[in-house]
Amino acid sequence: MTAVVRMERIDKRFPGVHALRAVDFDLRAGEVHALMGENGAGKSTLMKCLSGIYQPDDGRILVDGAPVRLPTPKAAQDVGIGIIHQELELMRDLTVAQNIWIGREPRRSFGRIDEAALEAAAADIFRGMRVGIDVRQPVGALTVARQQMVEIAKALSFRSRILIMDEPTAALNDAEIAELFTIIRGLKAEGVGIVYISHKMDEIRRISDRVTVMRDGAHVATVAAADTPIAQIIAMMVGREIADQTVTIPDLSRADTALEVRHLSRGRDLHDVSFAVKKGEILGFAGLMGAGRTELARAIFGAEPPDTGEIIVHDRHRTIRSPADAVRAGIGYLSEDRKHFGLALGLDVRANIALASMARFSDRLGRIDETRVAAVARDHIDTLRIRTPHDRQELRLLSGGNQQKVVIAKWLLRDCDILIFDEPTRGIDVGAKAEIYRLLNDLAAAGKAVIVISSELPEVLRLSHRIAVMCEGRLTGILPGGAAQEEIMALATQREGVIAQ
């Protein structure tokens, strides 16, 4: 099978960071080539060089055997290279068809947009993908999975023969992932080469033909997916073996209750939810997408206050109508959408770590003691192994996994007694996951009450001392840690269940 793309000895530097070190990579027509590595390994940087977002400092890129220069994303599109970013780049108020053809709309006389031709052309692409989507519908009304299909259709509208997918299943459920994989297999059959970036090991086995592993900006190995054990791929990614630890459930019979929620309801999202979590406990929340787990977390934290119900912290009733109320009550919340709700990407690492605790570093006139801030920030950078050249590095330049660690550092510095982690390892590699699992266990061992919401059932099972299951805004059951996956899924697919403590 011939290589449609070949990248040879690609080198890229940023201030203080050697991001790519003479990396080789090739993609064949009609294959799925998985690109794997820890956060900060250089995967996204390499693909941004291929898609014209970055310019390599050295090396060359060949398309169909001929060297090409890709100074802009438009230049990459012109030679058939399309990229679908982890954060979808669609305009929610425009229709599906308008999003696909924006800037290239068919025109009628006097420059008017030919909406009928626009919609017909968009519908043709979806027919080719064997996907049924109303192209006149606003994109904002679609599920994330459907929006992902729109991004693929948009890339194909440029006649892309090379498609880069960056964490395409991060926000999809199992049924939606199966639908996406059907589309990918159809694209393969038509000769489209696909670069597939993911941290989900089970997906790599199911969908990819070859796997390239990167570490610290360098190419480690390229192997056949079918012939290479997952443990070997992980070892190549992190440079070490990671033990698959099982959850150890502590005796909490004498532990005090840290947080109790009674009869919490909010609109159509939450219906009469009650539970408690003890000091030193990790309570996992499982459920299908749309079950109401994030809505519950945001209600407890005051981001979307409940209509009815009680929140009791350390045996004291608390009125929580805002995040500020929650923080004063000792509750910290790590949102699933860290970039919008957890971080200030334009500020540096130091400022983000101190963001929720500025009063600790200010005098009565509001002046910040930068020396103390710097010392505390460096301490948390070392403790959490945050990979950054220095504490004044702009946060947006860090990898997703390291950004997540900065959010955790922010709440650790605040010293909250109750911590809610919503999808704490989304978009994070296996090495960083192991560190965060260790951190969550350490927090519980130190007496913190920890709530973990995760769409990955193995993660919930690995971490949780008890498992609360939700379905359609209701708590359908609470199971002991180590419960069978079948028990959890039975509760996740019914409206009401028996709560077993």
**Predicted pLDDT of residue 239:** 72
- Please give the Cα distance from 412 to 419 (Å, whole number): 9
pLDDT greater at residue 322 or residue 403: 322
State both tokens at 493.
Answer: 């697919």
- Please give the Cα distance from 42 to 121 (Å, whole number): 37
What's the DSSP call for residue 382?
H
Q: Which contiguous run of DSSP H or E holds residue 367?
A: none
The beta strand positions in 365-471, using DSSP E, are: 418-422, 449-453, 466-471
DSSP output for 454-478:
-S-HHHHHHH-SEEEEEETTEEEEE
CB 230 within 8 A of CB 446: no
Q: What is the arithmetic mean of pLDDT over 13-23?
A: 88
- Please give the Cα distance from 344 to 326 (Å, whole number): 20
pLDDT greater at residue 186 or residue 289: 186
List pLDDT tens digits, range 217-257. Answer: 999 999 999 999 888 887 888 675 555 556 778 889 899 99
- Please give the Cα distance from 473 to 495 (Å, whole number): 8
**Predicted pLDDT of residue 287:** 87
**Predicted pLDDT of residue 134:** 93
- Please give the Cα distance from 500 to 186 (Å, whole number): 45
Banded model confidence at residue 358, pLDDT cuts 50, 70, 90: confident
**Predicted pLDDT of residue 244:** 56
CB 471 within 8 A of CB 495: yes
Q: What is the arithmetic mean of pLDDT over 300-316?
A: 95
% of the chain exceeding 90 in pLDDT: 48
Closest CA to 345 of 358, 355, 336, 334: 355
Q: What is the arithmetic mean of pLDDT over 171-177?
A: 75
Q: Where exactly does CATH 3.40.50.300 map onto the chain?
A: 3-80+160-238, 257-330+416-492
Above 50 in pLDDT, residue 497? no
- Please give the Cα distance from 70 to 21 (Å, whole number): 19
Which residues neighbour 312 within 8 Å (Cβ) at sequence distance 6 or greater? 257, 259, 260, 261, 262, 318
One-letter identity of residue 237: M
Among the residues of 226-369, which ranges form H helices? Answer: 230-238, 293-300, 323-328, 338-341, 349-354
Mean pLDDT score of the chain, rounded to an integer? Answer: 87
> Which residue in the block uniquely carries the two structure tokens 């009869």?
263
Q: What is the arithmetic mean of pLDDT over 346-356?
A: 88
Range with the largest mean pLDDT of 185-189, 202-206, 447-451 = 447-451
**Predicted pLDDT of residue 1:** 63
User: What is the 3 state secondary structure string of 126-169?
Assistant: HHHHCCCCCCCCEHHHCCHHHHHHHHHHHHHHCCCCEEEEECCC
**Predicted pLDDT of residue 469:** 94
Q: What's the CA angle centered on 487, arms 483 and 489, to 5 degrees? A: 120
- Reduce the DSSP state of residue 42 to 3 states and report it: coil
Neighbours of 402 (CB within 10 A): 23
CB 11 within 8 A of CB 59: yes
CA 433 distance to own-chain centroid = 12
Above 50 in pLDDT, residue 467? yes
pLDDT greater at residue 436 or residue 121: 121
Strands 210-215 and 32-36, how do they pair?
parallel
List pLDDT tens digits, range 56-87. Answer: 999 999 999 999 999 999 999 999 999 988 76
- Please give the Cα distance from 329 to 406 (Å, whole number): 22
**Predicted pLDDT of residue 494:** 66
**Predicted pLDDT of residue 495:** 44
- Reduce the DSSP state of residue 49 to 3 states and report it: helix
For the structural domain made of 3-80+160-238, what CATH number should be given? Answer: 3.40.50.300
Q: What is the dihedral of CA 301, 262, 473, 246, to 10 degrees?
A: 80
**Predicted pLDDT of residue 220:** 95
- Please give the Cα distance from 321 to 18 (Å, whole number): 46
Above 70 in pLDDT, residue 472? yes
Above 80 in pLDDT, residue 4? yes
pTM for the model stands at: 0.60
- Please give the Cα distance from 300 to 323 (Å, whole number): 9
List pLDDT tens digits, range 141-157. Answer: 887 778 888 888 888 88
Q: Which residues pair with 466 in a beta bridge?
A: 283, 480
Above 50 in pLDDT, residue 296? yes
- Please give the Cα distance from 58 to 21 (Å, whole number): 9
CATH topology of domain 257-330+416-492: Rossmann fold (3.40.50)
pLDDT greater at residue 296 or residue 92: 296
State both tokens at 5.
Answer: 């793309």
What's the DSSP call for residue 443?
H
One-letter identity of residue 454: S
% of the chain exceeding 70 in pLDDT: 93
**Predicted pLDDT of residue 500:** 45
User: What are φ and ψ of residue 181, in 5° steps?
Assistant: -65, -35
**Predicted pLDDT of residue 202:** 79
**Predicted pLDDT of residue 271:** 94
**Predicted pLDDT of residue 208:** 95
- Reduce the DSSP state of residue 272 to 3 states and report it: strand
Banded model confidence at residue 474, pLDDT cuts 50, 70, 90: very high
Q: What is the dihedral of CA 407, 413, 419, 421, to 10 degrees?
A: 10
Q: How far is CA 445 from CA 248, 280, 407, in A?
A: 11, 6, 20
Return the minimum-mean-pLDDT range out of 26-35, 195-204, 279-288. Answer: 195-204
The beta strand positions in 251-326, using DSSP E, are: 257-266, 270-278, 282-286, 308-313, 316-318
- Please give the Cα distance from 276 to 477 (Å, whole number): 13
Q: What is the dihedral of CA 474, 476, 477, 478, to 10 degrees?
A: -20
pLDDT greater at residue 365 or residue 135: 135
pLDDT greater at residue 466 or residue 109: 466
